[in-house]
Structure 1
Amino acid sequence: MRWNIPNTLTILRLLAAPAVMLVFLLLPRPFADWVALVLFVGASATDWFDGYLARAWNQQTKLGTMLDPIADKAMVIIALAAVIGLMGLNGLILIPAAVILFRETFVSGLREFLGDTAGTLKVTKLAKWKTTVQMVAISVLFISGIFEHHAGMLSFGMDAEMLDGVMSGAVSDENGLRLYMILLSVTWYLGVALLWIAAALTFITGLDYFNKALPYLKD
């Protein structure tokens, strides 16, 4: 194995994947949300840097080629599991998440079955866009979780009438609850929309890989 900077970044991204989930067991919210967001965004950024540096410095290795897609899938799957837990099994999150998880498992199974001919399932540009949209969607949903926590803390003890009064401006908003509620709404709907777009791209790329593998599946 050749240890270089691109491979080191890939391994750090792989290690960051379980850390995104573990911080919620070790730290109270919203600190856990912030740490998870920083870990996820930082690890997602290395997905571009390690590939760029490997090509620029001619340091592409078998280790990096093998670990890079694994690290991407681990980051997305574990972060999705964290988001599902934070959002309380919301159907708007569960359905696209199920599509993404199914596709990743299905394509990994295809590659394993194809063995030496798995090169026919090379990563396409659309698949790279799919991964990017997935990571942006999850990042936005982590941010939404932060706003949700702060809005919940500021509205604790308020009844529906008082909350409506704060949102309408009839009741003084000394703690900025209205702003947090607006930011929560914007990031929630944006994150959900991006996740559904990611699920659509995930389905399309999965179908493309299946069509490419089909000739090798016939008896």
Structure 2
Amino acid sequence: MDSVTGRGSARHSFSLPNLLTYSRIVAVPVVVGCIYAQSILQGPLWLRWVALAVFIAAAVTDFLDGYYARIWDQQSAFGRMLDPIADKLLVASCLLMLAADGIIHGWTLWAAIVILCREILVSGLREYLAGLRVSVPVTRLAKWKTTAQLVAIGFLLAGDAGDQVIPIVTPIGLALLWISALVTLYTGWDYFRAGIHHLIAEDS
């Protein structure tokens, strides 16, 4: 019985949806490396286009992994665990590099802080509730939140290279980052509100 379960788990681990999720994780050091080489090491601007292309490909896998998992009935506990981790790694690493780059600066740093703090708090809440065997499903608004974050980061990754084509690329990215931060804040409260009665019940 255990060997059959083991083979089933291994098969799910290397299903196409999970492979797409792995590729999103692999994209993280590539995007970070390109931005670091261009900004910190004063490399050529075309590195930002490479970073953007890899980032867009990674963002597309965020849609495709869930889509294929549903239509091919390949949903698994491992995939549900790994998918949000891959999203958070991609978003957090890009925000940190964009802050180091100086694209995100001044008051806009607060938008990035809100996004990062929300992701950490919700992850902690999910882990705690998982110990109580309580599942907090991902809402439609939370999916839109992730989309807003990815679009904003995409504009900001283009940065100076994008501004040479359309001068308002960076301001658009910063505006979208604030919008995504507000949506992120609301969804964070939404998750907390959904889990608060479990926390109160456990302590009482």
User: With structure 2 as the length reference, what TM-score do the two structures score?
Assistant: 0.84
Deviations 1:120-155 (A, max 9, x none): 42110000000000000000111233245xxxxxxx
2:30 counterpart residue number: 19
Alpha-carbon distance between aligned partners in 2 of 1:121 and 1:29, rounded to the nearest angstrom? 44
1:191 counterpart residue number: 173
Report if aligned partners of 2:103, 2:159 keep a CA contact under 8 Å in 1: no
The alpha-carbon deviation at position 114 of structure 1 amounts to 1.7
Equivalent of 1:112 in 127, 134, 153: 127
RMSD between aligned residues: 1.8
Counterpart amino acid of residue 63 in structure 1: F
Count of residue pairs the alignment pairs up: 186
Alpha-carbon distance between aligned partners in 2 of 1:45 and 1:119, rounded to the nearest angstrom? 30
2:145 counterpart residue number: 130
Change in CA separation of 1:200 and 1:89 when aligned onto 2, cut-off 3 Å: closer
Change in CA separation of 1:72 and 1:120 when aligned onto 2, cut-off 3 Å: same
Counterpart amino acid of residue 72 in structure 2: W
Counterpart amino acid of residue 217 in structure 1: L
Q: Does 1:77 align with 2:92?
A: yes
Q: How does 1:42-121 map to 2 (within 5 A)?
A: 42-87=57-102, 90-117=105-132, 119-121=134-136
Change in CA separation of 1:89 and 1:187 when aligned onto 2, cut-off 3 Å: closer
Counterpart amino acid of residue 210 in structure 1: F
Alpha-carbon distance between aligned partners in 2 of 1:88 and 1:197, rounded to the nearest angstrom? 17
Identical columns (%) = 42
The alpha-carbon deviation at position 31 of structure 1 amounts to 2.9
The alpha-carbon deviation at position 44 of structure 1 amounts to 0.2
Report if aligned partners of 1:84, 1:93 keep a CA contact under 8 Å in 2: no
Where does structure 2 lack aligned partners over 5 or more consecutive residues? 1-9
Alpha-carbon distance between aligned partners in 2 of 1:187 and 1:39, rounded to the nearest angstrom? 18
1:200 counterpart residue number: 182
The alpha-carbon deviation at position 89 of structure 1 amounts to 5.2
User: With structure 1 as the length reference, what TM-score do the two structures score?
Assistant: 0.79
Q: Secondary structure at the match of 1:66?
A: helix
Counterpart amino acid of residue 22 in structure 1: G
Equivalent of 1:6 in 17, 24, 39: 17
Where does structure 1 lack aligned partners over 5 or more consecutive residues? 149-179
2:7 counterpart residue number: none
The alpha-carbon deviation at position 118 of structure 1 amounts to 6.1
Higher relative contact order (CA 8 A, sep 6+): 1
Change in CA separation of 1:139 and 1:112 when aligned onto 2, cut-off 3 Å: same
Report if aligned partners of 1:14, 1:71 keep a CA contact under 8 Å in 2: yes
